Amino acid sequence: PEDERLHTPTGDESLPWKDTWYFSLRDDASDQTLNLHMTISANRTPPTRVGVSVALGARFITEVMRNGGNNTGNSFGNELAHIEVVHLSGDSDHELRMIGNLDAVSFELTVKGKHYAPLWDTMFPGYYATGKYGHSYSHYEQLITGTGWVQWKGAERVGFSGIGWRDRGWAGARPSS
């Protein structure tokens, strides 16, 4: 569960490192879809990139913001969208809060895991290739639910109760010094 938080890169600081989060959620009853992708690169300036897409029927918006971000132990992201850790468990009790404020729409969702989130590189040793520079990759996926609201500017808040999928990864070229 601690892998939800940012990782501290080790090894050669000149080599790339990144933490990534991806969420895709769909509420069929209200015809809404929400996708969020976040990358925080400890040794890139600016380090935080957040991309968000929100759809209500045929209405659709995508925005991307890259800046310094506001990344602490239990909250990470930037002004466009951020994730707050509510409860770490790596199973059906795992809970996050996703908050977004795009030009045309804002949202707040509680995201909960629906099963154990398996760490792929532990389950399948050697599945992810390692490069000649000692590249490493760690990754888990989890089915999720998302409940909360979405509000387009000038409109009423619309409830959101959907299902989806999330992907969490961290990777880098980290040879021993």
Which pLDDT does position 88 carry in this prediction?
A: 78
Q: pLDDT tier at 169 (50, 70, 90 boundaries)?
A: confident
The whole-model pTM stands at 0.85
Residues in the chain: 177
Amino acid at residue number 143: L
**Nearest Cα to 50, choosing from 59, 35, 39?**
39
pLDDT digits (tens, 9 = 90+) for 55-109: 999 999 999 999 999 988 899 999 999 999 998 776 778 899 999 999 999 999 9
Q: Report the pLDDT value the prediction gives residue 176, as an integer from 0 to 100.
A: 45
